[in-house]
Chains A and B, each alone.
Chain A
Amino acid sequence: MTSVAKASIEPRAKGDPVGNGVFAALTLAVAVLFYAVIAVIGSEYLYFAGYVVLQFVVLATAWNILGGYCGYVNFGSAAFFAMGAYTTICITTIASEYAKSAVGAAIGAVPPGVLVVLMVVLAGIISGLVGLGMGYLTLRLRGVFFSIATLALSVVLQTLVVNWDFVGGSRGAYVIRPNEFPLLPGGFIAYLFVLMLLLVVVALCVSRGIERSRLGFGFAAIRDDEMAAEAAGVPTLRLKLIATTISGALMGMAGAPFPYYIGYLQPQSAFGLEYAVNAIAMPMVGGTQSWIGPLVGAVLLGSFQQWATVTISSVLNLLIVGLLLIFFVIVAPNGITGFFRDLIYRRRRSGGGSGS
């Protein structure tokens, strides 16, 4: 804890070999490379499967900003995700239902490629605000209450959606995904894939940026000892609200393109428990202390599930994810990255010891 307190006085960023700008450029370069490889292979299945994995990277990274950095557990990832998805449904339904009115016609005139981007932004704003509201009501109390409230949030939002006929109610709603997209080979699904890839870049940059800023040190102080942080003058409530807002916004943004991806959105699929469990399991498996953990966890677990859904069964693979979550929480609480970091740390120490 003393190291945290010291670090927040002197931001580490000064001596940081990789600045935020450089990191963004590097991530973007990796993303472009990744896209190029997929595009060269050119299989439509890879776009579909890759989209889901990328979507989980965003969700896991978003969860980790609140869960890993601040130590506040959000069980309602599915709710925030669905909020994003239903933002899109809501706007596209306005376009089709009120096609004759000025608003509907205006939305209808926007090409779908641009509309998706607008939806991502709008979904980010909406779910960020909901995160802020939830946080404001519950974060002044013990952290547990926030977790419980998020757990109940998905049930309630699902109730609202099921009862709301305009967005399809319990039947679900269609969004027509155009087949073609003028700028990219591979059609609209390739475009969605690229969009999600860009969201991953944004999420990773935000997450790493936070980690190395004053904000991140404040978050870590809250996680380690909230009372001490408060006493040391860290504005805990404000920082927690910032974390819930950013985290919620990113989750909503991940959900916004989903209706276009799935084509036919049902409440059960938007509020699926697999989002809630994966958003927790992935950072836990990867490691919650740094931005790279959720990425590793999401890529490993996400790809595994894509493979297992096809080869085993979708229920069984959820069971495996749940068991992995329990296993890692009990046996390896620092996740895979934490395990390797400890390994390197130990080797360095023993190496240094023999050298001197």
Chain B
Amino acid sequence: MLELYLNAIVSGLLLGGFYAAVTLGIAIAFGMLDVVNIAHPAFVILGSYVAYICNIKLGLDPVLVGLLALPVFYVLGQAIYQVSYLSFERRGSDSLRGLAFFFGLLFVTEVLLILVFGVDYRYVEAWYIGPTLRIGFIDLPWRMLVPCVLSILLFLLLQLFLSRTYTGRAIAAVSQDPTALRLLSIDPVRIKRIGFGLSIATAALAGAFLIIIQPVEPSVGREYIGRIFAICVLGGMGSLPGTLIGAMLLGVVESLTTTFFGPSWAPAVGFGFLLATLAFKPSGLLGR
């Protein structure tokens, strides 16, 4: 019984590491830039399919593909922010249209993927998919371990960037006080564009991790909407360490739920977390 518990907790932590990577983009876009990008999961899935194509056609390692796709997704993110800025933010129109826009993006991306790839599950091949590292009685499947370790690495890098560099600090500050940024002769729109580019760029890697962990079909992203916003809100908006803690927590609870109640209940856990956080502590664990 103890073994079962420990294994569930460990695999929950591994899962949580991966969730952190998926949530990173939202933590930046929603938490720091105040752009409610509900289409983020769709970009993650897009990243998965990029990894899939390059893996199948060129035999490239999915993680390598994720890294190579970073600049492409960065530019894509900048372009999307530019459209959203020109059409909504600059006009000062209500958040309703912005939300509807991102919902449209989410939907169109999913339908396009269905049109091109169909609804079959796709998977990638790499040396770390399959074998399991065993320490004592604890199983550490490599396909979970690799994304988890890399996610945490990505996390640390971004945290360093956001807290140590000039641009990074500007990104973290932009939604709090755009006027102050202007006074420092920083263009808030440019900063938000860079920030949103980064946010979408993380989706390229997160997508590669996703398809390493599980086979992917276009509508898988929907399950992640509840999860990532739950993590983001739970951790406290805009707090990267909070996001990591929130992700680990959700991972562990989901893993325990899967072990004891069956995997089909797992998607409900995130929603429960989200509602409970919103109802009892809307500022989140490490929120301001």
Residue from A159, A273, A280 within 8 A of B267 (CB atoms): A159
Complex interface: stretch among A40-48, A93-101, A249-257, A311-319: A311-319
8 A Cβ contacts from B257-275 to A: 262, 264-265, 267-268, 270-272, 274-275
Task: Known A-B contacts: A148-B274, A155-B223, A315-B115. Give 11 more (CB < 8 A).
Answer: A71-B94, A137-B279, A148-B38, A149-B278, A277-B107, A316-B115, A325-B104, A329-B87, A329-B97, A330-B83, A333-B97
Is B2 close to A, CB under 8 A? Answer: no
Whether the Cβ atoms of A152 and B274 lie closer than 8 Å is yes
- Identify whether the interface residues of B are mostly helix, strand, loop, or mixed: helix
Is B142 close to A, CB under 8 A? Answer: no
- Complex contacts, A329 vs chain B, CB 8 Å: 87, 97, 100-101, 104
Whether the Cβ atoms of A73 and B96 lie closer than 8 Å is yes
By beta carbon, the residue of chain B nearest A284 is: B100
Is A299 close to B, CB under 8 A? Answer: no
Q: In whole angstroms, what is the CA distance A144 to B264 when docked?
A: 28
- Complex contacts, B104 vs chain A, CB 8 Å: 277, 281, 322-323, 325-326, 329
Is B241 close to A, CB under 8 A? Answer: no
Q: A160-B268, A319-B115 are in contact. Are A151 and B225 (CB under 8 A)?
A: yes
Residue from B107, B233, B274 within 8 A of A325 (CB atoms): B107
Q: In whole angstroms, what is the CA distance A102 to B272 when docked?
A: 37
Q: A152-B271, A155-B271 are in contact. Are A144 and B87 (CB under 8 A)?
A: no
Is A141 close to B, CB under 8 A? Answer: yes
Q: A159-B268, A319-B115 are in contact. Are A147 and B99 (CB under 8 A)?
A: yes
Q: A149-B274, A326-B108 are in contact. Are A156 and B96 (CB under 8 A)?
A: no
Whether the Cβ atoms of B107 and A322 lie closer than 8 Å is yes
By beta carbon, the residue of chain A nearest B93 is: A333
- Identify whether the interface residues of A are mostly helix, strand, loop, or mixed: helix
Residue from B87, B94, B96, B111 within 8 A of A319 (CB atoms): B111
Q: Count the A residues whose beta carbon is within 8 Å of the partner chain — how many?
A: 41
Q: In whole angstroms, what is the CA distance A156 to B107 when docked?
A: 19
Q: In whole angstroms, what is the CA distance A148 to B105 when docked?
A: 15
Q: In whole angstroms, what is the CA distance A348 to B219 when docked?
A: 49
Whether the Cβ atoms of B265 and A163 lie closer than 8 Å is yes
Q: In whole angstroms, what is the CA distance A137 to B278 when docked?
A: 7
8 A Cβ contacts from A206-237 to B: 223
Q: Count the B residues whose beta carbon is within 8 Å of the partner chain — how many?
A: 43
Residue from A148, A151, A316, A330 within 8 A of B101 (CB atoms): A330
By beta carbon, the residue of chain A nearest B270 is: A152
Residue from A67, A152, A316 within 8 A of B225 (CB atoms): A152
- Complex contacts, A318 vs chain B, CB 8 Å: 107, 111
Q: Provide the B192-234 mask, 1 if CB < 8 A to any CB of A, else 0.
A: 0000000000000000000000000001001101100110010
Chain B interfacial positions (CB closer than 8 Å to A): 36, 38, 83, 87, 93-97, 99-101, 103-105, 107-108, 110-112, 114-115, 219, 222-223, 225-226, 229-230, 233, 262, 264-265, 267-268, 270-272, 274-275, 278-279, 282
Is A143 close to B, CB under 8 A? Answer: yes
Q: In whole angstroms, what is the CA distance A315 to B110 when docked?
A: 10
Is A145 close to B, CB under 8 A? Answer: yes
Whether the Cβ atoms of B229 and A152 lie closer than 8 Å is yes
Is A291 close to B, CB under 8 A? Answer: no
Q: In whole angstroms, what is the CA distance A322 to B112 when docked?
A: 10
Q: A156-B226, A159-B268, A163-B265 are in contact. Are A280 and B278 (CB under 8 A)?
A: no
Minimum CB–CB distance for A154 against chain B, Å: 8
Minimum CB–CB distance for A67 against chain B, Å: 7
By beta carbon, the residue of chain B nearest A152 is: B226
- Complex contacts, A273 vs chain B, CB 8 Å: 107, 110, 219, 222
Whether the Cβ atoms of B99 and A73 lie closer than 8 Å is yes
Q: In whole angstroms, what is the CA distance A223 to B100 when docked?
A: 15
Is A75 close to B, CB under 8 A? Answer: yes
Whether the Cβ atoms of A144 and B36 lie closer than 8 Å is yes
Q: A147-B99, A325-B107, A330-B87 are in contact. Are A319 and B112 (CB under 8 A)?
A: yes
Q: In whole angstroms, what is the CA distance A332 to B285 when docked?
A: 41
- Complex contacts, A137 vs chain B, CB 8 Å: 275, 278-279
- Complex contacts, A281 vs chain B, CB 8 Å: 104
Whether the Cβ atoms of B95 and A144 lie closer than 8 Å is yes
8 A Cβ contacts from A120-159 to B: 137-138, 141, 143-145, 147-149, 151-153, 155-156, 159
Is A175 close to B, CB under 8 A? Answer: no
Residue from B93, B96, B225 within 8 A of A155 (CB atoms): B225
Q: In whole angstroms, what is the CA distance A288 to B94 when docked?
A: 13
- Complex contacts, B279 vs chain A, CB 8 Å: 137
Q: A319-B111, A330-B87, A330-B101 are in contact. Are A151 and B264 (CB under 8 A)?
A: no
